Amino acid sequence: MPIAINPEHNDLADSVRSLVARVAPSEVLHDALETPIPNPPPYWKSAAEQGLQGVHLSEAVGGQGFGILELAIVIAEFGYGAVPGPFVPSAIASALISAHDPETSLLRDLASGDVIAAYAIDSGLTATRHGDGLVIRGEVRAVPAVAQASVLVLPVAIDSGEEWVVLDSHQLEIEPVRSIDPLRPLAHVRANAVEIGEDRVLSSLSRELARALMSTLLSAEAIGVARWATDTAAAYAKIREQFGRPIGQFQAIKHKCAEMIADTERATAAVWDAARAIDETRKNASAESAFEFAAAVAATLAPAAAQRCAQDCIQVHGGIGFTWEHDCNIYYRRALVLVASFGRAADYPQLVVDTATTSGMRKLNIDLDPETEKLREEIRAEVAALKAIPRGPERDTAIAEGGWVQPHLPRPWGRASDPIEQIIIAQEFTSGRVKRPQMGIAAWIIPSIVAFGTEEQKQKFLPPTFRGEMIWCQLFSEPGAGSDLASLSTKATKVDGGWRITGQKIWTTAAQYSQWGALLARTDPNAPKHNGITYFLLDMSSEGVEVKPLRELTGNAMFNTVFIDDVFVPDDCVLGEVNRGWEVSRNTLTNERVSIGNTEPPGMASLDGLVEFVRDGQLDQIAQNQAGRLIAEGHAAKILNMRSTLLTLAGGDPMPAAAISKLLSMRTGQGYAEWALSTFGTDGAIGDPESLPGKWAEHLLYSRATTIYGGTSEVQLNIIAERLLGLPRDP
């Protein structure tokens, strides 16, 4: 999905997308490979008429008065179109000037499109003070679009520090050089004792904000490239046939495309958050440390995603993708120039580490409309009343009867809360330090009982479950039917008053503690494999049920094997219709996958724990760089979760972000532990859980399960490829 979430931003993205498709079709891009486009380019006037050059600039200088987030949305669409010419460099330059003084007269001609600007992220310029101004000398290499610009924004070294200055191109010697991307020309710039006045020094622009602006906006263009590559690879995989079927049906291609969209979505979430952080800083200076971290996360992920996706797009296309005539050529070249435009790639993971371990990671909060404050006050009062009840069964009963445990459910089981009310409830219970009964596996089963259960089933099972008195397990997986649940062989035979069930279940979490289980069994062996399955509610104390703890590689027994030997289950414990259990199970599995994607499971290494470990450790730069990438990936996975929630609030579909979040969150948790244990050297062999190496070893051992349960990563990749990218299903 694009950066945009809310309707206004989607309208902006749609408008820019239409312009880009009109002014920069494929043939225009290929012509620009051979013949330099005019300056300004043909689309410049149309973009100006839409106000795109000044979308982020103050209305006082003729801009539209929006922020960096809106500019990032525009730039991402330009990246998706690989638009040639100086639009992106000029927009970044004007953003730098505006950060110094949003109403400076320098911006008026930039907002109208009458002047084109360029910038450099690094330079070899030095300055000495001369009267009220500066004298500048030195060289800046490989400056994008500088030959098309009349104004340059460049950093200069002065007094052991750095200042940003605005220079006119006629003051400089400009030497065009061949660019990897002919659509993004480059030139070296030399200054030979160039004098400027104090009014051309951007003294209010800090080095930190300048770097954040440049890297965030470059990241926006990078995710546009990554999104194009992902869409194009998936589209080709649907129609290109080999060995008698579309190549998108081959799992290798399917998974490659799924990995591309996962990389792209994670980077998009990071760019969205970095742009928001900068805008928040402009309104509130105390947020400065947060924007620096957020921008570093985006810069760690986005250029890498652009290059990987562009490369994988070529691979999916095969030989045709390696030709000069194919658009892959254009986008791969743009990706390579973008990666170089960030400067040293290692600087950004290091900045992630430095900011995370000093000022801290950016806090992810969902800001709600002020109109919700009345509702918040009402909920806060009710939570306070619950807190006044002594901890124990009485409070748990009050919480359960009030519908607070799963408030999205219809009354009387929940509160029929819309997404906004759910967020407020979660925030108020957390801030009020009132714990709701833990549902465990039941959190995934309850919605199925509410949706498909009889009134008697609801009354029997839901109240004690909400009070935390009834513990549940999920009896789905079998030795021969793990992720492929439709292949299950547990058999249920109809008898007088109920069913006789025989079979074996495995990987059943907490079965040894559970009173009830949600069980899938085959009731019609002659039906197609997704049909003929029924969903049962099984009393775990029934005669013929045997639970054997399954000791896993951690040495513990979280999972179990459950033997079901001719167990009688009455008709009133069938959930939903006979032979329609697959429909009910999909409801349960959907709840499971969303839930897993939104949390860090107990026993697994956490992002906060990783940051604490890095802060307290003695690590070399290579290890810190690796840690920075992991922190960036973990933080972006959390942003994906928040975007999923906000998409729900905006009436969108949260499932794409949720599916990708589950895949990435489990991987990053494994990565934390793998990396941490590797830093101990020989002490990494210590298994004592009381020691620090032993603690991380426990995390690592446990983490191997997280990419298996709830749907293996390989199954998740299939789901992402088929449901999000529309690739053909496996035969």
Strand pairing class (472-475; 516-522): parallel
The answer to whether 218 touches 270, Cβ cutoff 8 Å, is no
Q: Which pLDDT does position 595 carry in this prediction?
A: 38
Strand pairing class (516-522; 126-130): unpaired
Query: Tokens representing 66?
Result: 């929006």
Query: Tokens representing 521?
Result: 């069994």
Number of Cβ within a 10 Å radius of residue 344:
9
Q: At 177, which CATH number?
A: 1.10.540.10
Domain match, 50 and 118 both: yes
Q: Domain end: 162, 187, 205, which one? A: 205
The answer to whether 183 touches 82, Cβ cutoff 8 Å, is yes
Q: Tell how far CA 419 is from the center of its chain.
A: 20
Q: What is the mean pLDDT of the chain?
A: 91
464 in a domain, yes or no?
yes
Domain containing 714 equals: 596-724
Domain match, 416 and 515 both: no
Low-confidence ranges of the chain (pLDDT < 50): 592-598
Domain match, 506 and 409 both: no
Q: Which pLDDT does position 602 carry in this prediction?
A: 67
Domain match, 3 and 28 both: yes
Domain match, 565 and 681 both: no
Domain match, 55 and 183 both: yes
Q: Which pLDDT does position 516 carry in this prediction?
A: 97
Phi-psi region of 164 (alpha: psi -120 to 50; beta: other; left: phi over 0): beta
Q: Which pLDDT does position 596 carry in this prediction?
A: 38
Number of domains, the chain: 4
Nearest alpha carbon to residue 220 among 526, 472, 2: 2
Domain match, 69 and 188 both: yes
Nearest alpha carbon to residue 478 among 501, 508, 500: 508
Query: Tokens representing 195?
Result: 């004098």
Q: What are phi and psi of 484, to 5 degrees?
A: -90, 75
Residue with tokens 């928001």: 276
User: What is the torsional sign of CA 251, 254, 256, 262?
Assistant: negative
Domain match, 664 and 681 both: yes
| Of 292, 421, 428, 592, catalytic | 592
CA distances from 468 to 281, 394, 462, 490 (A): 43, 12, 10, 29
The answer to whether 573 touches 538, Cβ cutoff 8 Å, is yes
Domain match, 585 and 607 both: no
Q: At 541, which CATH number?
A: 2.40.110.10
The answer to whether 640 touches 661, Cβ cutoff 8 Å, is yes
CA distance 441 to 460: 18
Domain match, 174 and 29 both: yes
Can you spell out the DSSP letters for 702-727?
HHTTTTTTTS-HHHHHHHIIIIIS-P
Q: Which long-range contacts (CB under 8 A, 24 or more apart) does 426-430 make?
A: 428/376, 428/379, 428/380, 428/383, 429/383, 429/404
Say which residues have a Cβ less than 8 Å from residue 69's Cβ, sequence separation at least 6.
3, 9, 272, 275, 276, 279
Residue 268 DSSP one-character state: H
CA distance 604 to 610: 11
Task: Check if 577 is active-site.
Answer: no
Can you spell out the DSSP letters for 529-554?
TTSSEEEEEEETTSTTEEEEEE--TT
The answer to whether 368 touches 423, Cβ cutoff 8 Å, is yes
The answer to whether 606 touches 600, Cβ cutoff 8 Å, is yes
Q: Domain end: 142, 177, 205, which one? A: 205
CA distance 597 to 72: 27
312 in a domain, yes or no?
no
Say which residues have a Cβ less than 8 Å from residue 186's Cβ, sequence separation at least 6.
142, 143, 144, 146, 176, 177, 178, 179, 337
Strand partners, 545: 564
265 in a domain, yes or no?
no
126 in a domain, yes or no?
yes
576 in a domain, yes or no?
yes
277 in a domain, yes or no?
no
Q: Domain end: 205, 234, 267, which one? A: 205
The answer to whether 290 touches 245, Cβ cutoff 8 Å, is no
Degrees to nearest 5, angle at CA 477 with 476 and 478: 120
Domain match, 120 and 18 both: yes
Strand pairing class (161-168; 117-119): unpaired
The answer to whether 408 touches 422, Cβ cutoff 8 Å, is yes
225 in a domain, yes or no?
no
Domain match, 429 and 462 both: no
646 in a domain, yes or no?
yes
